[in-house]
Amino acid sequence: MALDGIFSLDIIEEMENYVERNRPEPEIRPKLDLGYRIENQSVFIHSIRPQWDKPEVIQFYDAAKCTYVQKSNEWKVFWLRASGKWESYPPTPKVKTIGEFVRLVEEDRHFCFFG
């Protein structure tokens, strides 16, 4: 089930603000940028880079994910391991708002999201 419209607007606003605060300078963005996407009940944060051997191919590398659980009205927080598997973020596996998720990613105290 996808997130409802009003709820999605709050998420988009929070994520757009996060991206604007954390994007690299404009001259660097063709080689490294930051973005997000919403899929069903989840929000993903990713870096955007050209493929190393084919710069015309743009790659998206996921770093953080949160999934909304309607039943408990909370967000589960995940980080992407080197194995390519999503794992619950051990210090704070759940948050109440998308803003709390964004703050966790920005702090990244344990260097899980962007290393």
For residue 36, being part of any structural domain is answered with yes
For residue 102, being part of any structural domain is answered with yes
Query: Alpha-carbon distance 33 to 47, whole Å?
Result: 6
Residue 69 belongs to what domain range? 5-107
- Concatenate the DSSP letters of all residues of 23-92 into one string: PPPTTTTTTSEEEEEEETTEEEEEEEEE-SS-TTSEEEEEEEEEEEETTTTEEEEEEE-TTS-EEE-SS-
Q: Residue 111: phi, psi to the nearest 5?
A: 55, 40
Structure pTM? 0.90
Helix (H, G, I), strand (E, B) or coil at 114: coil
Model pLDDT, residue 42 = 95
For residue 114, being part of any structural domain is answered with no
Model pLDDT, residue 92 = 95
pLDDT tens sequence across 58-98: 999 999 999 999 999 999 999 999 999 999 998 999 999 99
Model pLDDT, residue 21 = 96
Model pLDDT, residue 31 = 96
C-alpha distance from residue 40 to each of 36, 57, 62, 71, 91 (Å): 13, 26, 16, 15, 25
For residue 113, being part of any structural domain is answered with no
Model pLDDT, residue 8 = 82
pLDDT tens sequence across 1-41: 466 665 788 999 999 999 999 999 999 999 999 999 999 99
Model pLDDT, residue 85 = 96
Model pLDDT, residue 4 = 64
Model pLDDT, residue 9 = 86
Structural domains counted in the chain:
1
